Amino acid sequence: MMRHVRLCGALAMVAATVPLTASAQSRGRTDGPEESEYGKGGYSGPGGRSVSLQLDWGAAINSRKPPRGAPEGPPLFVGATLSLWGADWYQLDVSGAYVFDGGRFVGMVGPRFRTWGWPLVFTAGLKAGAIVIPEGEGLRFGISPQLGAEILLGDRENILMALNYTPDIPIGGGGVTHRLGMSVGYKF
């Protein structure tokens, strides 16, 4: 019986001293190069403001046949995206793309949101801007919702690779362009 009492008393003393030692730890130091401090009292991480540049390419399929006289080409697109990172979960994108089949140019601006995770995150965004449809259709205002997955690679997590689906929807007609693409970029 006495053995059980001693064991319970020892466990109670250990349980009482653990919170006391944890609260007695120092707050931590924040000296060193700017934005390099992590842990107690320092910065939260490398996810502060930065800029990334991505090259985009992939398949682009128009929902209707391009107008007569429009450039004919393969069902592909190329483009670029410049992103201002407000935080690790939010970006403001400025993007442009050229669709070879039909000769469309798409220029969009809008937010993109990222899920939490490492190394793979999922993204969703909504952009708005101009869609230039050649041969009679002209300039249209359009929206482009976006769904995708992204991975950050490298020692400093500054190399971006992504897969995205984006339908470009011109308001007022002109047919939807469905883009399924890949991106490779660098986060500065």
86: enclosing H helix or E strand: strand 76-87
Percent of the chain whose predicted confidence (pLDDT) is above 70 = 72
| Gap between the Cα atoms of 157 and 46, Å rounded | 9
What are the backbone dihedrals phi and psi of residue 26, each rounded to the nearest 5 degrees, phi first?
A: -70, 165
pTM of the full predicted structure? Answer: 0.71
Mean pLDDT of 118-127: 92
Q: State both tokens at 77.
A: 């697109």
Which residues are CB-neighbours of 93 under 8 A, at least 6 positions away?
81, 82, 83, 108, 109, 110, 111, 112, 125, 127
CATH fold for domain 50-187: Porin (2.40.160)
Domain positions in the chain = 1-45, 50-187
Give, in order, the Cα–Cα distances in Å from 34 to each of 46, 47, 121: 11, 14, 27
Mean pLDDT of 51-80: 88
CA angle 100, 104, 108 (to 5 degrees): 120
- The identity of residue 68, as a single letter, is R
Q: State both tokens at 125.
A: 């965004």
The b/e string for 173-183 (b: 16+ C-beta within 10 A; e otherwise) is ebbbbebebeb
Q: What is the pLDDT of residue 29?
A: 56
Neighbouring C-alpha atoms within 13 Å toward the C-beta of 20: 5
Q: Is the pLDDT of residue 81 over 80?
A: yes
Q: Is the pLDDT of residue 18 over 50?
A: no
CB 112 within 8 A of CB 125: yes
- Chain mean pLDDT for the chain: 81
Question: Where is pLDDT greater, at 180 or 65?
Answer: 180
DSSP 176: -
Q: What is the pLDDT of residue 44?
A: 46
Q: State both tokens at 8.
A: 């319970």
